[in-house]
Structure 1
């Protein structure tokens, strides 16, 4: 175990029973990342996690820059630097400007964000901190998102709250 991690990571290639799952992870991600080394402690959860988070990131109707902005904000709010650092390259690749990556770290929402980004970040903050979304905020969100896009936005916020909370609880990446 690392100095602060609360669970032992599984070193890839050390447990024959995990070989098939590790191969699937490598095929989808290129390697068994540090997070997945911890997730391998529960093979069924690791497989489900991979499928779910992959759907959230790669089969999502949200524009990539907006999706990654949400993920970065959740990581900031939940004090999950591992998640933040892991997603900065994705955010930049999806076209999120570097100054917005920096601005998402601030406690108050920056004027650097567009009106759409601002309302999405307000929803992210509310769902992460308070859970319940007031009707007035939801009405503003609904001006921009309906149907699948609305659901994808809420699932992205919820999913990355799950990710960051597991990382923080287990001290992964500290």
Structure 2
């Protein structure tokens, strides 16, 4: 059960209803703090539509973080969202088990793993691998996006945000391990 109230547009001051542009549970919970929700939505929009990082690589990184943090909400949403950015079933499988990942995908998955696990420090070899595939702006965005999604996964867990029925099929197609 969610630990924050899910708000609807009628629960908000008319000036704050824009934070429910997508009435998903995450935004409905964030709407309890409309100023921060609006700022988060601006950042999310920037990431999704204006980032220099290849969107498929971005989604693979987010999926790896969702997998490692066991965030059913992030996982289900980004399996579905990732399809719009070219993510395939094979890409989802790599996010689950990146042992065979090579090239840009392998470098991005190693970085996402490093940021999500331990203290977030990345070995120089991981950074060098990224630099072989990404320009400095895209590399910077990857590190920021990965750190943001680790934090978002923790917020989702703390607030016990529930997966909406429209996203549950993704959990059945690609279930997260228990734990």
* Aligned partners of 1:80 and 1:168 also within 8 Å: yes
* Deviating 4+ runs (over 4 angstroms): none
SS at match of 2:107: helix
- Per-residue deviation, 1:24: 5.4
1:132 is matched with 121
Structure 1 equivalent of residue 2 of structure 2: 5
Please tell me whether residue 100 in structure 1 is matched to residue 95 in structure 2: no
Contact 2:20 2:31 in 1 (8 A): no
1:116 and 2:130 equivalent?
A: no
d(CA) in 1 for partners of 2:63, 2:148: 12
Question: What residue ranges of structure 1 are gaps of 5+ in the alignment?
Answer: none
Please tell me whether residue 63 in structure 1 is matched to residue 51 in structure 2.
no
Residues 19 and 34 of structure 2 are in contact (CA less than 8 Å); yes or no, is this contact kept in structure 1? Answer: no
Q: Distance in 2 between matches of 1:48 and 1:74?
A: 22
After superposition, residues 1-174 of structure 1 pair within 5 angstroms as 4-15=1-12, 17=13, 19-23=14-18, 25-26=20-21, 31-106=22-97, 109-111=98-100, 113-130=101-118, 131-173=120-162
RMSD of the TM alignment (CA)? 1.7
- For residue 94 of structure 1, report the CA deviation from its aligned partner: 1.3
Q: Is the 8 A contact 1:123 1:137 kept in 2?
A: yes
CA drift at 1:99: 2.3
Is the CA contact (8 Å cut-off) linking 2:116 and 2:150 kept in structure 1? Answer: yes
Which structure carries more helix by proportion?
2
Instruction: For residue 64 of structure 1, report the CA deviation from its aligned partner.
Output: 1.4
* TM superposition shift of 1:12: 2.5
CA distance in 1, matches of 2:87, 2:127: 24
TM-score by length of 2: 0.82
C-alpha deviation, 1:5, in angstroms: 1.7
Contact (CA 8 Å) 2:19, 2:27: kept in 1 or not?
no
User: Which TM-score applies when normalising by structure 1?
Assistant: 0.85
Asked if the contact 1:69/1:96 (under 8 Å) is kept, the reply is yes
Distance 1:160 1:67 in 2: 11
